[in-house]
A and B are shown apart, each in its own frame.
Chain A
Amino acid sequence: MSHKISTTPSALWIAMTASVLWLSASSSIQAQGDGSRRGGPPLTAKASAPIELTGYWTAVITEDWNLRMLTAPKGDFGTGEASAGIKTPGGDFRPPGNIPYKPAGVEAAMAWNPEKDEAEGNRCKAYGAVGIMRLPTRLHITWQDDNTLKMEAELGMQTRLFHFGPPPRGGQMSFTSGLYIPPEPPKLETPAGLEPTLQGYSVASWTVVGGVGSFERGGSLKVVTTHLKPGYYWKNGMPYTGNAVLTEHFRVMQLPDNSVWIRFTQMVEDPEYLTQPFLINYLFKKLPNESGWNPTPCSVK
């Protein structure tokens, strides 16, 4: 007795086709950039955005309230009491309050002179890229062009620009070696000859995750800002230097009441004044429209 398995010539073809389809469906779920498109020009940053950041947003201040909503007294590092820090019996320096300052940072903070700032035309030192995100302000985020995201703050009437570079190659699985090839890091290059400014120069890139299988597509925006002018974390003159590097990760979340929020982490590396990176995170809630938008000039107090 003979068994007829198949007489169609397409068995191998079917198997190969199925394999290719499966392979494409199960390709890496994590990619960085995700801006490339097979057989065409790369997608723009605007077109490849995994999260929607445009619109009007308001700061919601639930942490460090006394420091962010109002101007704390000089020398208040977050504890409510002026303090220059403690030298331990072992000779170590323990900074006062919330900021991991070295003695040089504390010394500079204690020298804050708002009248001097006013007289020298430095009213906006607390409104730089680092400080503005901590203030009780609304934000308006729009696309200036296909590869530049613009963030305006009503308080101090400041504008930050996030410049997207060419999309990096995403992570992928090599099915010949069975190894995962991690995504290429984004190219965070700044143009030569930039002068420092309050808002510095910000390079941006998307991280795109999901969108395959059972995982929702999402991701985050990474922004690295350099070329900053010296400024203040808080309005009571807590300083950072012009060498500070600001790295931010922006994400979006939705709560059960349908409110939409930006949640972002801010890391400042400033070796001259800080013992270690200074990390915090902030929250902005989406507004339905521009109602309440109230541009206000900088003030030193």
Chain B
Amino acid sequence: MKTTNRFGITGGLLLLSALVSQPAFAQENSPVDLSGTWRWIRYEDVRESQPGAYPGDYMGLPLNDAARMRADTYDEEWISSSPLLQCRPRGPGYQAFALDPMQIDKVEDPLNRRLVAYRVSYQKTPGGRMIWLDGRPQPSAYAQHSWEGFSTGKFKGDTLEITATHLKESYVRRNGVATSFRATVIEQVSLDEPYLDWTFTVIDPDYLTEPLVRSAIYIRAPTLQVPTYPCQSVDDRAPGEKYRVPHYLPGENPYLTEAAFKYKVPLEGVRGGAETLYPDWHSIGMRLSPPSAQYTLKPTYKDESTRIAERAEVQPKHISTYDNVEALHVAGNVYLIGGAGGNIAVSVGGDGVIMVDSGVAAASGKVLAAVHQVAHNLKPEEISNSASPYAGTWQATHAFTEPVIRMIINTNDNAEHVGGNANVRKSAMFDPLRGFEIVAHEMVQNRMIAAKAPDIAVPNNTYFSEKYTLYRFLNNEAVQLFHLANATTDGDSVVVFRRSDVIVAGDVYNSDIYPPIDVDRGGSIDGEIEALNKLVDMSVNEYMSEGGTMIVPGHGWISDAGDVGYYRDMIMVIRDRIQNMIDRGMTMEQVRAAKPTMDYDPLYGRQPGVTNQFVEAVYRSLKEKTTKGNG
């Protein structure tokens, strides 16, 4: 071999290795470095940041009428009186307006130093908001929502573009202008040293008619420390005092003209709407006069958003083929199987599979496949760290073999929850604990027998007490059923997996539809509210109104006590409105025509039949109570 070639190869390799170690390679992670501590600069709408916008000030917001009604009936005491919401952090649709210092840290892969994410922390946020830059996919539609949502980012030129989804219900102005849990927030972050320009756009199909684009500025503040925020919620009710939701009945808020009067601008502008954001409105506004005094506005609501429930009613019933059955982890041993009608929860471990509900019959094949997949991919459980005499013994006695289903627990007798009972029992995977094939409250059994359900589908192990604890730990934890009397029916149970800290709520709580209260089957609005109160009382938030106890709804995504709190409060507001209408002598038809749920229909009334059923159930149960009281 020629010496020159050896030198050539060696030299070339040395040069290449020197080049690959150049810092230019690392720069490809991020065209600009956003990390550091930042202080807000705020020279616009200063009143909105401190002390807060006037009630009824919707200037500059492209709201629909549903959003207006929601905000018109908002009472600012609501947040302070709700222990679940007192520590509610801001979402990305508002955060940049807050007078909150900010810290941005790089999160790097320790092996290759590649930038994986930016972590953004504010004083009043639960922790670091992760903005993933590694191209990871969006979570499932059944994944939990959070105040800050799930955020992915991508650099476009010198601008980091962030997309946040899976947001909890939040607000775009601190006077009750709500954003939906379906909202997406798009953010553009650009650096012009020492300033950081943060443009944020809220796209809300439920409450906004077009994207709401706003912006904020931060300045680099290298010596700033972002303070901690140990927010402690307080329940200041007297012993025995019932929880209530402060709110105004439609047309009774006396403060809605305050902003127009004080800013001396026409009320038509203060009420917001997309048309008021554009130059053509200038000449309209110049011809209008501001109110000469404050008065109680009696708004009328009539745009498309007011007809969501009506449109849903006439939609043809969607016939699902259940193609998108999927499983995802909830907590501990518990998984959710979604897309099979009602949600199914499964506890999976060394003892086998405990199913809570079985979905619709037509989806059973896919449900069983999902159960098999979850169980098969499980890792062996850790030995229990407990002083219990039984600790760690169950793993030794129960072999981890092919998945077997040990029992089904039914939370109610709705077809979307019990429809798959027979198919699961007939499947080869079903290897039950004798006598515990299907467990439910006795009213579920009674109603299924009355409905002539086949024996194989009917619960054979029932309880009639307030609480029912299964006779032994299953998958290393206690399993308890609580009867929630007269909620959606007279047979509702919630199932608690104690070690996993998961509650399976059945139809008592649905994250995106009204509860299917059936008065003829023993349901009632007061029972439903009591049930939700119980659910809240049984749950613990991890920090700042989110996380902790996971709640699997009858329909929708994995939730926490904060979500249930919002839902409970919504139902209490509607209960109060309908009670007021009954007190004024209105008939069922008049109540329906008055649309007492109109501002919540974009969130919970998009499926055929649910709004009418809900309004009728609330009316009937309140009317019956009134009649009994008078009798």
A interface vs B, CB < 8 Å?
2-9, 11-16, 18-19, 22-23, 26-30, 50-51, 58-66, 69-70, 72-73, 76, 78-81, 97-100, 136-138, 154-155, 173, 175, 178, 180, 207-210, 213-220, 222, 249, 251, 253, 255-257, 259, 261, 263, 265, 267, 278-283, 292
Assess whether B323 is interfacial by the CB under 8 Å rule. Answer: no
- The answer to whether A63 and B22 touch across the interface, beta carbons within 8 angstroms, is no
Q: Which of B150-200 contact A (CB under 8 A)?
A: 155-159, 161, 184, 186, 188, 190, 192, 195, 197, 199
By a CB distance below 8 angstroms, the chain A residues around B24 are 26-28, 173, 180
Nearest-Cβ distance from residue A134 to partner chain B, whole angstroms: 10
Nearest-Cβ distance from residue A257 to partner chain B, whole angstroms: 7
Q: 22 A-B residue contacts at CB 8 Å?
A: A5-B1, A5-B6, A8-B5, A9-B5, A11-B9, A12-B9, A13-B8, A30-B31, A63-B44, A66-B59, A69-B282, A79-B46, A180-B27, A210-B155, A210-B156, A218-B159, A256-B184, A257-B210, A265-B192, A265-B195, A280-B44, A283-B214
- The answer to whether B277 and A251 touch across the interface, beta carbons within 8 angstroms, is no
Nearest-Cβ distance from residue A261 to partner chain B, whole angstroms: 7
- The answer to whether A136 and B279 touch across the interface, beta carbons within 8 angstroms, is yes
8 A-B pairs with the lowest CB-CB distances in the bound complex, closest first: A218-B157, A15-B12, A12-B8, A65-B60, A65-B59, A209-B158, A281-B215, A62-B60
- The answer to whether A69 and B285 touch across the interface, beta carbons within 8 angstroms, is yes
Assess whether B25 is interfacial by the CB under 8 Å rule. Answer: yes
- The answer to whether A60 and B43 touch across the interface, beta carbons within 8 angstroms, is no
Given A136-B279, A279-B217, the answer on whether A218 and B156 have CB atoms closer than 8 Å is: yes
Say which residue of A63, A64, A81, A210 sits within 8 Å of B262 (CB atoms): A81
Say which residue of A29, A50, A207 sits within 8 Å of B28 (CB atoms): A29
- The answer to whether A72 and B263 touch across the interface, beta carbons within 8 angstroms, is yes
Nearest-Cβ distance from residue B108 to partner chain A, whole angstroms: 17
- The answer to whether B214 and A15 touch across the interface, beta carbons within 8 angstroms, is no
Say which residue of A18, A73, A78, A280 sits within 8 Å of B16 (CB atoms): A18
Residue in A closest to B25 when the chains form the complex, CB atoms: A26
Say which residue of A3, A12, A59, A219 sits within 8 Å of B279 (CB atoms): A59
- The answer to whether A215 and B28 touch across the interface, beta carbons within 8 angstroms, is yes
Rounded to whole angstroms, the CA-CA distance of A283 and B213 in the bound complex is 8
By a CB distance below 8 angstroms, the chain A residues around B2 are 7
Give the contact-size bracket for chain B: 35 or more
Give the most central of B1, B15, B263: most A CB within 10 Å: B263
Assess whether B286 is interfacial by the CB under 8 Å rule. Answer: yes
- The answer to whether A220 and B19 touch across the interface, beta carbons within 8 angstroms, is no
- The answer to whether A12 and B11 touch across the interface, beta carbons within 8 angstroms, is yes
By a CB distance below 8 angstroms, the chain B residues around A216 are 155-157
Residue in B closest to A15 when the chains form the complex, CB atoms: B12
Assess whether B629 is interfacial by the CB under 8 Å rule. Answer: no
Given A30-B158, A178-B22, A280-B217, the answer on whether A249 and B190 have CB atoms closer than 8 Å is: yes
Residue in A closest to B46 when the chains form the complex, CB atoms: A98
By a CB distance below 8 angstroms, the chain A residues around B23 are 173, 178, 180
Given A14-B12, A15-B9, A66-B59, the answer on whether A281 and B265 have CB atoms closer than 8 Å is: no
Assess whether B405 is interfacial by the CB under 8 Å rule. Answer: no
Q: Which of B16-46 contact A (CB under 8 A)?
A: 16, 19-20, 22-25, 27-28, 31-32, 41, 43-46
By a CB distance below 8 angstroms, the chain A residues around B280 are 292
Residue in B closest to A172 when the chains form the complex, CB atoms: B24
- The answer to whether A4 and B47 touch across the interface, beta carbons within 8 angstroms, is no
Give a binary string over B235-269; 1 marks a CB under 8 Å from any A CB, 0 the rest: 00000000000000000000000010011111001
Residue in B closest to A210 when the chains form the complex, CB atoms: B157
Rounded to whole angstroms, the CA-CA distance of A22 and B285 in the bound complex is 60
Rounded to whole angstroms, the CA-CA distance of A129 and B2 in the bound complex is 73
- The answer to whether B45 and A64 touch across the interface, beta carbons within 8 angstroms, is yes
- The answer to whether A220 and B190 touch across the interface, beta carbons within 8 angstroms, is yes
Rounded to whole angstroms, the CA-CA distance of A213 and B27 in the bound complex is 10
- The answer to whether A50 and B157 touch across the interface, beta carbons within 8 angstroms, is yes
Say which residue of A5, A100, A255, A263 sits within 8 Å of B43 (CB atoms): A100
Assess whether B464 is interfacial by the CB under 8 Å rule. Answer: no
Say which residue of A70, A207, A217, A256 sits within 8 Å of B286 (CB atoms): A70
Nearest-Cβ distance from residue A39 to partner chain B, whole angstroms: 23
Say which residue of A98, A215, A261, A281 sits within 8 Å of B217 (CB atoms): A281
Nearest-Cβ distance from residue A136 to partner chain B, whole angstroms: 4
Given A136-B282, A251-B188, A255-B201, the answer on whether A210 and B158 have CB atoms closer than 8 Å is: yes
